[in-house]
Amino acid sequence: MFTIGEVAEIMGISTHTLRYYEKENIIAPVRDDNGDRRYDDSHLKWLQFVIKLKETQMPIAKIKEYASLAIEGEHTTQERLKLLEEHKDSIKKQIRTLQAADEMLEHKIAVYKDFISKRD
């Protein structure tokens, strides 16, 4: 079992974020006899998933929705699948946007390099 501080360090997030995720019912750590939060390996795996969703711009409301569905159980599998497929489509759109921006920047950089090399 891990403390909130240990999990924050392991996951590279703040204790404030962990408390926020708990408040928003995204994660539910267990409490020890003193009332301190304790996290196990399953919490860490779940947090890795949540962090990836957040890194790929999934809105916190959608993460909360997914977490709620997961807690409800297997009968929500279809809804969770739909949510993840929609997010994957969003990621693909982000990738296309970034690739287009990269191509534009590559072109602009080449123009500047060419201009500078002709000046020298």
Of 32, 35, 38, 41, which Cα lies nearest the Cα of 18?
A: 38
Q: Token digits for 106?
A: 């590559």
Domain 4-119 listed as CATH 1.10.1660.10: yes
Distances (CA, A) of 26 to 34, 48, 67, 106: 22, 12, 5, 40
Mean per-residue pLDDT pooled into runs of 10, the chain (120 residues): 95 95 94 92 96 95 95 95 97 97 97 89
Q: Token digits for 67?
A: 């977490």
Instruction: Tell me what pLDDT residue 119 has.
Output: 83
Instruction: Tell me what pLDDT residue 18 has.
Output: 95
Would you report the helix, strand and coil content of the chain in percent, each value rounded to 5? 75, 5, 20
- 103-112 long-range contacts, CB within 8 A, separation 24+: none
